[in-house]
């Protein structure tokens, strides 16, 4: 670590520090910074360096001026647990200032970072002069403890684009992403040509490792980071030093590949593998006539350091906006809840969303919601999706009754045929992989063997949808990796929390739980003979749920208890009244779709325009 005391502050550094102090101390003004500036220590922390270790006793507070750090802790299984990322403008170590307890977590620099240290002695001077800050710092500690419950990465500031291959479209795609991002956030496109111009150096010299040039280049990158919301650093072929410094300074490294090439590793891959310890994604660019991506798993298998993969089709309306939002953690996620045949209303709501111009960057769901999510992630016209879903409904998976219901009431053959037919209609491939979907997607199943959630993001889409929809007692359980999986709705029927963890900025949720009940005008459930008698007499057994509904709704009780928490995480909630329909009423496909559509249109018509615009795409020139 390099320390520097009393460093002169730029206007933006001063603002960052002032904002950090206000988080800790409350209503301080800029005079406090001026008063204590000479006692602050500036630190340069290299990527991989440890700032604090869990269990050690130190009592300083740190402000992150630039860079990114990660907090980790050893859990009860003696495994390292990621607590979250600490980014520009945030603080580290406020708890130790008050409690003098050992450090709660280990904090490590993910990339080269610059911090300001406030010592306990200086803090004591502040307390003596401003005693009211004790209340505010206590609140800050409580808030920090709450955040520990959900590990989350902070939004990236520095994005580094690393072309795996040399091909014409790479730089036009990166420029389009930069221009789109710049419409809403201050963004800089950092190229070797720009650095050469700003620093007054020949481009070739920027690829030298001479100490003075490195320091000037590092200072230039630091200034650009401080002055912008995002920086897009562009690597080039045969410029190893330039590329290395960009990779080491990045919060998010994006490998950009030509999907028509072989997936083999290149020198650029090796450079990222050696120099980056931060998040890494793969962006594959596809020709305009591509129906669906294929064989993405082969690209990922030899790049285990890649966390996420994205697909961009040249010329596709909305593709640039979608990828830009995903790469900068400003994506719009849509979550589809389970509910049997009621799930057809998802299709109607999607139609209304598209008519109103609402964007959808990533999707997820449980039970029937996973089936709709898989179809939505194909990114096809809504009329085509509706036609395929209608064909699927004709299979009525609840019809193939099991005459020996040892494991389930139905055999599950119709469910498999329904899913296979849908996949073949969309892609022509029943074994289509989740990695090849145009939109990132997850499906939630329940692991019966381990009593935990099973979240699918890779592998065959058929398996993910089948497992997520295996209603206990109704559908046969699924054996996956030698373990038993059942319907995801039993543990998390409305998996909004998972979408939030996947770094969505805005989340739209659709579910069917309606918080009103219809009173039952009977004293008890009729027996078999009475059911037949009532039916013959034309009385029926209206108002009483059948066995399928009883099983499904009973399995959802625990999950339903989490629903209010899920709703609080939403930015937009669709909740149509479908109480009149049971889970097996697939014959009412068009009616249920229409109810969802009309409900969504009415809701969107009555929302303020500013609210609707939060989910829309500003104009952008497409490739």
The helix/strand count (H/E) of the chain reads as 25, 21
CA distances 517 to 382, 560, 578, Å, are 33, 15, 12
pLDDT on residue 140: 60
Buried-exposed string 115-153: b where 16+ CB fall within 10 A, e elsewhere: bbbbbeebbeebbeeeeebeebbeebbeebeeeeeeeeb
127: helix, strand or coil = helix
Q: Who's near 336: CB < 8 A, 6+ residues apart?
A: 343, 346, 363, 364, 365, 366, 368, 369, 370, 372, 373, 376, 510
pLDDT above 80 (res 70): yes
Residues of the chain with CATH 2.60.120.10: 2-148
For CATH 3.40.50.300, the residue range(s) in the chain are 157-328
pLDDT in tens, 198-239: 988 887 777 766 667 777 888 788 889 888 999 999 999 888
Mean pLDDT of the chain: 85
pLDDT the model gives residue 101: 77
Tell me how long the chain is.
623
Which residues partner with 334 through β-bridges? 363, 508
The superfamily CATH assigns to domain 2-148 is: Jelly Rolls (2.60.120.10)
Q: Which helix (H) or strand (E) covers residue 316, if one does?
A: none
- The predicted-structure confidence for 13-67, as pLDDT tens digits, reads as follows 666 666 656 655 665 555 665 676 677 787 888 888 999 999 888 778 888 888 8
Asked if residues 117 and 61 have their Cβ atoms less than 8 Å apart, the reply is: yes
Q: Is 372 helix (H, G, I), strand (E, B) or coil?
A: helix
If one compares 322 and 544, the residue with the highest pLDDT of the two is 322
pLDDT attached to residue 620? 47
Which residues pair with residue 594 across a beta bridge?
none
SS (H, E, C) 138-192: HHHHHHHHHHCCCCCCCCCCEEEEEECCCCCHHHHHHHHHHHHHHCCCCEEEECH
Q: How many CB atoms lie within 10 A of CB 607?
A: 14
Beta strands 441-447 and 452-456: pairing type?
antiparallel
Q: Which residues contact 528 (CB under 8 A, 6 or more apart)?
A: none
Structure confidence by residue, pLDDT tens digits, 446-482? 999 999 999 999 999 999 999 999 988 889 999 999 9
Phi first, then psi, for residue 18 (nearest 5°) are: -65, -40
Range(s) of the chain covered by CATH 3.40.1090.10: 331-613
pLDDT, tens digit, for every residue of 153-196?
567 889 999 999 988 899 999 999 999 999 989 999 999 999 99
| Non-local CB neighbours of 210 within 8 Å, separated by 6+ positions | none
Per-state percent for the chain, helix, strand, coil, to nearest 5: 40, 20, 35
Distance between CA 605 and CA 549 in Å, rounded?
33
The DSSP letter of residue 340 is G
What is d(CA 6, CA 184) in angstroms, rounded to the nearest whole number? 35
- Residue whose C-alpha is closest to residue 194's, from 203, 205, 207: 203
Which among 89, 47, 43, 44 is positioned nearest to 70, based on CA atoms?
A: 47
How confident is the model over 334-350, as a mean pLDDT?
Answer: 95
| Residue range 96-138, pLDDT digits in tens | 766 777 888 899 998 888 888 888 888 778 777 767 666 666 6
Q: Between 485 and 59, whose confidence is greater? A: 485
What is the percent of the chain with per-residue pLDDT over 70, rounded to a whole number?
Answer: 80
What's the pLDDT at 77? 74
Burial of 619 (0-12, 13-18, 19+ CB in 10 A): exposed
pLDDT of residue 64: 85
Q: What is the pLDDT of residue 270?
A: 94
pLDDT of residue 264: 97
- When pLDDT is averaged across residues 491-502 and rounded to a whole number, the result is 94
| Residue 534 predicted with pLDDT over 80 | no
Report the C-alpha gap between 167 and 183 in whole angstroms.
26
- Cα dihedral 357, 330, 139, 64 in deg (nearest 10): -160
Residue 586 has pLDDT above 80, yes or no: yes
Answer positive or negative: Cα dihedral of 467, 469, 471, 474: negative
CATH number corresponding to 331-613: 3.40.1090.10
Tell me what the mean pLDDT of segment 405-431 comes to. Answer: 94
CA proximity to 329, closest of 163, 159, 494: 159
Q: What percent of the chain has pLDDT over 90?
A: 54
Q: Is residue 300 helix, strand or coil?
A: helix
pLDDT of residue 43: 84
Return the CATH number of 157-328, one of 3.40.50.300, 3.40.190.10, 3.90.1150.10, 3.30.413.10: 3.40.50.300
Q: Which residues pair with 4 in a beta bridge?
A: 42
| pLDDT 10s digits, 256-313 | 999 999 999 999 999 999 988 889 999 999 999 999 999 999 999 999 999 999 999 9
Q: Is the dihedral of CA 500, 506, 510, 516 positive or negative?
A: positive
CA dist 360 and 82 (Å) reads 28
Q: Give the CA angle between residues 353, 357, 361 to the nearest 5°.
A: 75
Per-range mean pLDDT, top range of 116-120, 538-542, 587-591? 587-591
* DSSP assigned state of 26: S
Task: Report the pLDDT averaged over residues 584-613.
Answer: 96
Measure the CA–CA gap between 286 and 283, rounded to whole angstroms.
10
For residue 3, what pLDDT is reported? 40
């Amino acid at each position: 670590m390099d320390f520097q005391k009393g460093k002169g502050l730029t206007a933006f550094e001063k603002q960052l520090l002032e904002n950090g102090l206000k988080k800790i101390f409350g209503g301080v003004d800029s005079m406090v910074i001026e008063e204590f500036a000479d006692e602050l220590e500036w630190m340069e922390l290299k990527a991989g360096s440890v700032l604090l270790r869990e269990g050690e006793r130190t009592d300083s507070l740190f402000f992150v001026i630039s860079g990114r750090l990660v907090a980790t802790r050893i859990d009860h299984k003696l495994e390292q647990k990621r607590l979250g990322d600490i980014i520009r403008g945030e603080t580290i170590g406020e708890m130790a200032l008050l409690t003098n307890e050992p450090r709660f977590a280990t904090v490590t620099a993910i990339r080269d970072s610059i911090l300001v240290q406030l010592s306990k002695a200086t803090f004591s001077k502040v307390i003596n002069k401003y005693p009211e800050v004790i209340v505010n710092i206590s609140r800050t500690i409580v808030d920090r403890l709450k955040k520990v419950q959900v590990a989350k990465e902070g939004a990236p500031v520095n994005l580094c684009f690393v072309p795996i291959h040399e091909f014409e479209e790479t730089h036009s795609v990166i420029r389009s992403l930069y221009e789109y991002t710049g419409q809403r956030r201050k963004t800089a496109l950092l190229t070797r040509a720009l650095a050469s111009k700003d620093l007054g150096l020949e481009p070739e010299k920027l690829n030298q490792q001479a100490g003075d040039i490195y320091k000037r280049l590092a200072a230039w990158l630091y200034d650009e980071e401080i002055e912008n919301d995002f920086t897009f650093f562009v690597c080039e072929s045969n410029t190893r030093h330039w590329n290395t410094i960009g990779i080491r300074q990045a919060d998010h490294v994006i490998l950009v590949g030509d999907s028509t090439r072989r997936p083999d590793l290149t020198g650029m891959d090796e450079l990222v593998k050696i120099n980056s310890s931060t998040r890494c994604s793969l962006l594959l660019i596809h020709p305009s006539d591509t129906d669906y991506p294929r064989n993405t798993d082969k690209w990922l298998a030899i790049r285990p350091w890649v966390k996420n993969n994205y697909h961009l089709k040249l010329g596709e309306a909305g593709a640039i906006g979608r990828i830009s939002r995903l790469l900068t953690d400003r994506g719009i996620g849509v979550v589809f809840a389970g509910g049997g045949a009621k799930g057809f209303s998802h299709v109607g709501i999607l139609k209304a969303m598209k008519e109103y111009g609402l964007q959808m960057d990533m999707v997820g769901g449980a039970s029937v919601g996973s089936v709709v999510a898989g179809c939505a992630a194909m990114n096809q016209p809504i009329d085509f999706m509706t036609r395929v879903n209608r064909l699927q409904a004709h299979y009525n998976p609840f019809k193939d009754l099991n005459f020996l219901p040892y494991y389930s009431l139905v055999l599950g053959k119709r469910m498999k045929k329904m899913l296979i037919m849908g996949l073949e209609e969309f892609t022509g491939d029943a074994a289509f992989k989740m990695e090849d979907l145009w939109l990132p997607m997850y499906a939630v199943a329940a692991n019966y063997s381990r009593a935990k959630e099973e979240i699918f993001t890779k592998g065959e889409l058929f398996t993910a949808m089948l497992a997520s929809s295996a209603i206990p007692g109704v559908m046969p359980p699924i054996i996956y990796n030698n373990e038993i999986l059942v319907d995801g709705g039993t543990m998390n029927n409305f998996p909004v929390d998972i979408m939030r963890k996947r770094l969505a900025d805005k989340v739209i949720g659709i579910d069917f739980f309606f918080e009103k009940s219809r009173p039952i005008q009977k004293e008890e459930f009729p027996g078999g003979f009475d059911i037949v008698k009532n039916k013959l007499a034309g009385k029926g057994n209206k108002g009483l749920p059948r066995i399928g509904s009883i099983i499904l709704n009973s399995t959802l009780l625990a999950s339903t208890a989490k629903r209010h928490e899920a709703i609080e995480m939403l930015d937009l909630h669709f909740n149509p009244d479908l109480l009149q329909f049971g889970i097996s009423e697939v014959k009412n496909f068009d009616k249920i779709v229409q109810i969802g559509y009309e409900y969504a249109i009415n809701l969107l018509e009555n929302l303020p325009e500013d609210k609707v615009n939060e989910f829309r795409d500003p104009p952008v020139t497409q490739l």
